[in-house]
Amino acid sequence: MASVTDPEPPRESFRLSMLLNDTRYRGYTFQFIALLLLILFMAYLGWNLVRNLVDQGQDISFEFMGQPASYDINQRLIPYDSQDTHLRAAFVGVLNTLLVAFLGCVTATVLGVLAGVLRLSKNWLVAKLMAFYVEIFRNVPVLIWILIIFFVMTAALPAPSAFRGDDPDSSMLFGAFAFTNRGVYVPRPIWEAGSAIVVAVFLASLVAVFAYRRYATKLLYDTGRLLPMGWPSLAILIVPTLLAFFALGQPISLEYPELRGFNFQDGIQVRGSLIALWFALAIYTGAFIAENVRAGIMSVSHGQTEAAAALGLRPRRIMSLVILPQALRVVIPPVISQYLNLTKNSSLAIAVGYMDVTGTLGGITLNQTGRAIESVMLLMLFYLVISLTISAVMNLYNNAVKLKER
Amino acid sequence: MNRTVFLGALAAAGVTAGVAGAATLDDVKARGVLNCGVNTGLVGFAAPNAEGEWEGFDVAVCRAVAAAVLGDPSAVEFVSLTGKTRFTALASGEIDMLSRNTTWTFTRDVDLKFEFTGINYYDGQGFIVPRELGVSSATELDGASICIQTGTTTELNLADYFRKNNMEYDPVPIETNAEALQLYNEGSCDAYTTDASGLAASRATFENPGDHVILPEIISKEPLGPLVRHGDNEWGDVVRWTLNALIAAEELGITSANIDELSQGTNSPEINRILGTEGNLGEMLGLDPDWAVRAIKAGGNYGEIFARHIGESTPIGLARGLNAQWTEGGLMYAPPFR
């Protein structure tokens, strides 16, 4: 007996018109067309660039990066003089950018977290003061802050010559710090023999502090016994280092800045331009971070606070054990953007003559060689790489601290 | 990632390119206005006066060219440019000519593809210091903080000078002349360096000019002059010979006072050729016969312009020095109009 099987549905053969009429394919068709248009547009721009360069008799070449830069840079983290190449000058600028970005991010985070938490304080005055800070600094362009701080500094602080003479107009703070309109001069540590041991002891104490805190936490969770955290941490951090320092006969001494000739010599000069840029970027970005922190804290339901209070936790512990861990997952992603913004905003450095990479590669090198396209391309590549790196690192951190949802 | 970089660069390049090879003379005539790049503000050379009109030694060159080409010395759109933006503005066609105390150097001429159309001021880089500093020579500046406008040849000269003399210094780079002067006056830098003419011009604006000394050392050659884009020789000729006409006018004694009389015809063939009563020099340039008459009338001859804006009777008080006519021991020497 022949069983009658259902005839297979007729296999539709693919027809060209289905690209438009069939919903299964239509999406792909439009995506393909869009891609094609994008490629054509890029190709047109590329062709336009090449043609215009040829018209002007120019080409794209990076050979200039190997030639002597012939200009001087005032803030150098690595040895550099005017006979070094443009590449090295660019690198000096890169380090200056990274320096101010790092200092700015750290300071902005501290300021932002403080202001964000305090803005939620029950103390009316403190809360309003923080709201004032956030609104003032967030709503004025950062370039203006940079300029204001720089010009106030140069106008308000004395010139080095004011420190000269038997009865000078200005004197150094504790004989060690000089605040001038060219920057702040601080003592420089001199590392003598044995100083390595002191540093090693300090690093070991640092590790010990973490170990102690971890042990204390574990003890708390296991037995419920609460060890004091604050003063033992401080003691572990300081006492062994101090003991090592004196036991080894004070191997680290300080070299104080001293006015010789036109400027203070010795010591470390923290340039006015660096301070202005650093401070402006930090307070500006800090205001944004404060808002992120506030948003994160407010995103945690008030019931959590009440539940924790009902368990008998004190307000500070409620914040550190209940609220902050839950708030962090809301806070960190926007803070990453703020770090990226701060790093990119540091390119405003030229306004106060801070020699960051935009000032060296994108400023003097570009000007003296006339290689605008090449320099700008390199600059973009640099900022892109830095931003992606910060992003990647911060995302790793985010993954580590975010709530493990089950 | 690469695509993003590339696209951005293209956008940047799109601005700088796209105008090469255009006939600037025709463009200017069609537009009816000359776009001239000048300093952002350097008294005596290019600065707006109390009525808000641009005036100065460099501005006068723009006005002379506008008068020669368009018949109206006020048909100029002044674009103020910093040391950093000037070349991009010229290369991109935003301006037709640049008259902004710009030093004629090999790389600017050859590698940046510009054409210098002559020299209107022979300058050199100098230093200004407060008198109370007690410095009388640049060789005593070891260890000093020196303010400097970034993106200029002065930056390189300064590095060379201190290296050659085995001295240290602390460069304080600043974007504009005004900001640099502010830092200098507040004592953020011990000395300020730029072209000696610029120092004299800036000193004139100080509250007490006598409290500041311009040091005797001139550490570089800075021939300043107007420039145009490479590759448009007709336009380059117009600017070059307008400047030459001003210089030749002084040599030949053509002034704004006697030019109407002289342009009726004289018995000096060269004056006649310049003023268009003899020969067809104007036609060769693509202009009408009395182009030079208008150029000279715009602000007078070279000597008159110099005296009015930066000469010894002005607050800037520059002596002619190298900028005197060759017949007077200077370097100003216009090629023959023939």
> What are A33-80's pLDDT values in tens digits?
999 999 999 999 989 888 887 876 677 788 888 988 888 888 888 999
Query: Is the model's pLDDT at B4 over the cut of 60?
Result: no
- pLDDT, tens digit, 9 for 90 and up, residues A330-360: 888 899 999 999 999 999 988 888 999 998 9
Both tokens of B251, joined, read: 């040599």
Q: Model confidence at B1, in pLDDT bands (50, 70, 90)?
A: very low
Of B18-32, B135-149, B177-191, the poorest mean pLDDT is in B18-32
DSSP assignment string, A186-236: E-EEEE-TTHHHHHHHHHHHHHHHHHHHHHHHHHHHHH------HHHHHHH
Task: Determine which of B15, B170, B185 to mutate to test the interface with A (most A C-beta atoms within 10 Å).
Answer: B170
Query: Where in chain B are all domains bearing CATH 3.40.190.10?
Result: 24-120+225-328, 124-221
Cα(A140)–Cα(A284) distance, integer angstroms: 8
Q: Which of B4, B163, B173 sits opposite A82 (nearest CB)?
A: B163
More confident residue, A159 or B15: A159
Residues of chain B contacting residue A159, judged by C-beta atoms under 8 Å apart: 186-188
Mean pLDDT of chain A: 86
Fold (topology level) of B124-221: D-Maltodextrin-Binding Protein; domain 2 (3.40.190)
**Res A20: pLDDT:** 79
Nearest to A211 by CA among A231, A237, A242, A240: A237
Task: Assess B164–A contact: CB distance below 8 Å, yes or no.
Answer: no
Bridge partners (DSSP) of residue A271 are A183
Residues of chain A contacting residue B169, judged by C-beta atoms under 8 Å apart: 72
SS3 A270: strand
Q: Which of A72, A373, A380 sits opposite B171 (nearest CB)?
A: A72
Task: Determine which of A70, A182, A367, A381 to mutate to test the interface with B (most B C-beta atoms within 10 Å).
Answer: A367
Task: Assess B140–A contact: CB distance below 8 Å, yes or no.
Answer: no
Residues of chain A contacting residue B173, judged by C-beta atoms under 8 Å apart: 74, 353, 355, 359, 364
Please indicate whether, in this complex, the C-beta atoms of B186 and A155 are within 8 angstroms of each other.
yes
Count residue pairs from A and B with Cβ separation < 8 A.
Answer: 154
Percent of chain B with pLDDT over 70: 93
Query: Is the model's pLDDT at A1 over the cut of 60?
Result: no
- Contact (CB, 8 A) for B46 and B100: yes
- Contact (CB, 8 A) for A335 and A382: no
Largest CA distance in chain B: 73
Query: Is the model's pLDDT at B268 over the cut of 70?
Result: yes
Cα(A306)–Cα(A310) distance, integer angstroms: 6
- Pick one of 3.40.190.10, 1.10.1660.10, 4.10.1240.10, 1.10.940.10 as the CATH number of B24-120+225-328: 3.40.190.10
- Contact (CB, 8 A) for B57 and B120: yes
Contacts of A7 (CB under 8 A, 6+ apart): none
Task: Assess B254–A contact: CB distance below 8 Å, yes or no.
Answer: no
Task: Assess B169–A contact: CB distance below 8 Å, yes or no.
Answer: yes
Please indicate whether, in this complex, the C-beta atoms of B174 and A353 are within 8 angstroms of each other.
yes
Please count the other Cβ atoms lying within 10 Å of the Cβ belonging to residue B217. 16
Please indicate whether, in this complex, the C-beta atoms of B150 and A359 are within 8 angstroms of each other.
yes
Please indicate whether, in this complex, the C-beta atoms of A261 and B143 are within 8 angstroms of each other.
yes
Mean pLDDT of chain B: 88
Residues of chain B contacting residue A179, judged by C-beta atoms under 8 Å apart: none
For residue B137, what are the CA distances in angstroms to A136, B122, B126?
A: 48, 22, 11
- pLDDT, tens digit, 9 for 90 and up, residues B102-138: 989 888 898 888 999 999 999 999 999 999 888 888 8
Q: End-to-end CA distance of chain A: give it in Å, rounded.
A: 58
Bridge partners (DSSP) of residue B129 are B213
Contacts of A71 (CB under 8 A, 6+ apart): A82, A89, A364, A368, B155, B156, B159, B171
Cα(B113)–Cα(A259) distance, integer angstroms: 47
Please indicate whether, in this complex, the C-beta atoms of A380 and B8 are within 8 angstroms of each other.
yes
Bridge partners (DSSP) of residue A252 are A191
Q: Model confidence at B178, in pLDDT bands (50, 70, 90)?
A: confident
Pairing verdict, β B76-81 and B54-55: unpaired
Mean pLDDT of A215-233: 82
Mean pLDDT of A179-188: 85
Cα(A176)–Cα(A183) distance, integer angstroms: 14
**In the 3-class helix/strand/coil scheme, how is chain B assigned residue by residue?**
CHHHHHHHHHHHHHHHCCCCCCCHHHHHHHHCCEEEEEECCECCCEEECCCCCEECHHHHHHHHHHHHHHCCCCCEEEEEECCCCHHHHHHCCCCCEECCCCECCHHHHHCCCEEECCCCEEECEEEEEEHHHCCCCHHHCCCEEEEEECCCHHHHHHHHHHHHCCCCEEEEEECCHHHHHHHHHCCCCCEEEEEHHHHHHHHHCCCCHHHEEECCCCCCCEEECCEEECCCHHHHHHHHHHHHHHHHHHHHCCCCCCHHHHCCCCCCHHHHHHHCCCCCHHHHHCCCCCHHHHHHHHHCCHHHHHHHHCCCCCCCCCCCHHHCEHHHCCCECCCCCC
**Res A89: pLDDT:** 92
Q: Model confidence at B15, in pLDDT bands (50, 70, 90)?
A: very low
Smallest CA–CA distance from B109 into chain A, residue: A370
SS3 A253: strand
Of A193-197, B198-202, B223-227, the poorest mean pLDDT is in A193-197
**Res A290: pLDDT:** 94
Cα(A32)–Cα(B305) distance, integer angstroms: 66
Domain ranges of chain A: 86-169+276-303+331-401
Mean pLDDT of A178-196: 82
Query: Is the model's pLDDT at A121 over the cut of 90?
Result: no
**Res B262: pLDDT:** 92
Residues of chain A contacting residue B189, judged by C-beta atoms under 8 Å apart: 182
Residues of chain A contacting residue B186, judged by C-beta atoms under 8 Å apart: 154-155, 159, 181
Query: Is the model's pLDDT at B8 over the cut of 70?
Result: no
- pLDDT, tens digit, 9 for 90 and up, residues B36-72: 999 988 889 999 999 989 999 999 999 999 999 999 9
**Res B16: pLDDT:** 43
Task: Assess B7–A contact: CB distance below 8 Å, yes or no.
Answer: yes
Please indicate whether, in this complex, the C-beta atoms of B20 and A52 are within 8 angstroms of each other.
yes
Scanning B42-101 for CB atoms below 8 A from A yields 83-84, 87-88, 91
Cα(A172)–Cα(A182) distance, integer angstroms: 14
Please indicate whether, in this complex, the C-beta atoms of A263 and B141 are within 8 angstroms of each other.
no
Q: Which of B10, B91, B133 sits opposite A45 (nearest CB)?
A: B10
- Contact (CB, 8 A) for B213 and B219: no
- The DSSP H or E segment spanning A183 is strand A183-186
Mean pLDDT of A161-170: 74
Q: Give the minimum alpha-carbon distance from A260 to chain B in angstroms, rounded to a whole number.
A: 9
- Contact (CB, 8 A) for A55 and B17: yes
Contacts of A157 (CB under 8 A, 6+ apart): A179, A180, A181, A272
| CA atoms within a 13 Å half-sphere pointing along the CA-CB vector of A208 | 16
| CA atoms within a 13 Å half-sphere pointing along the CA-CB vector of B47 | 15
- Contact (CB, 8 A) for B326 and B332: yes
- Pick one of 3.40.1280.10, 1.10.3720.10, 3.90.550.10, 3.30.230.10 as the CATH number of A86-169+276-303+331-401: 1.10.3720.10
Percent of chain B with pLDDT over 90: 53
**In the 3-class helix/strand/coil scheme, how is A288-353 assigned residue by residue?**
HHHHHHHHHHHHCCHHHHHHHHHCCCCHHHHHHHHHHHHHHHHHHHHHHHHHHHHHHHHHHHHHHC
- Contact (CB, 8 A) for A181 and A155: yes
Question: For residue A177, what is the DSSP state?
Answer: B
- pLDDT, tens digit, 9 for 90 and up, residues B245-261: 999 999 999 999 999 99
Please indicate whether, in this complex, the C-beta atoms of A367 and B18 are within 8 angstroms of each other.
no
Q: End-to-end CA distance of chain B: give it in Å, rounded.
A: 60
**Res B149: pLDDT:** 86
- The DSSP H or E segment spanning A42 is helix A23-55
Cα(B136)–Cα(B128) distance, integer angstroms: 10
